[in-house]
Amino acid sequence: MFSGLKDSAAIISGAGGGMGTASALRLAREGCRVFAVDIHPGSLEKLEERFRQENLGGLTTHVCDAIHEHEVEEAVERCVRTYGKVDILVNIAGIYTDCLLKDMSYAEWRRTMDINVDSVMFFCRAVLSGMLENRHGKIINMASQAGVSGSVTHAHYSASKAAIIGLSRSLAREVAECDINVNCIAPGIIRTPMTARYTPEQVAGFLGKIPMGRFGEADDVAKVIEFLASDGSDYLTGQVFNVTGGWLMVS
């Protein structure tokens, strides 16, 4: 059992997706109150059903398009009205598309940056005043192996995830003296509906590069989020945790 999570309040963006749902469930099982944000109402309804199935309380859902700053601010304000504070911010919301840079439109580039980077900045900035006042907070931002090592046909996605790493490390330095921890997780290939489109040849190629011999599960990432949200990570900040099954072995 992780300490420091009971009666805390966590905002999770992209909470209706696989990693968001796994993370919300893990935090709630430890007594954390979850404010789940997603752009898709149907995904939030499914999350609510999962909570009911496990008889878990402490869930509030909120529909928000995180590329709009005022909607992010409204979400954070509602979380504070509901739970009295924000102790933990988990930024998972993002998109992933395939396109060679030579064929990429500026609109596709811009959309990726808006969703993957601007939304993270909006949420971080919106929770900071409360965390600074309380002199406590955990911010966990979702990067990617692609943001560390690059990825063919994903220049826009890789650039957005590299930007999240730079943003997180800079923010970690800004707020460290106030006991606010800012860290990143860089997943490799996680088993999701998106990876279900891979051909058998692609799967074999990827698995050949992963020393552990399997794709990750959403809960593999959620376990790291749970740790980073807990008191166990109190002396960790500005770090990138590579959850790749050994594919990416860099510091």
Query: Cα(15)–Cα(39) distance, rounded to whole angstroms?
Result: 9
Beta carbons of 209 and 215 less than 8 angstroms apart:
no
Contact (CB, 8 A) for 119 and 164: no
E strand map for 114-215: 137-142, 180-187
- Answer whether 138's CB lies under 8 Å from 240's CB: no
Closest among 13, 10, 14, 12 to 194, alpha carbons compared: 14
- CB count within 10 Å of CB 155 equals 18
DSSP-derived pairing of the beta strands 240-243 and 180-187 = parallel
| C-alpha closest to that of 96 among 178, 14, 203, 6 | 14
DSSP-based three-state secondary structure for 208 = coil
Q: Is 83 a catalytic residue?
A: no
The catalytic residue among 83, 96, 106, 157 is 157
| Residues annotated as catalytic (active site), given as ranges | 157
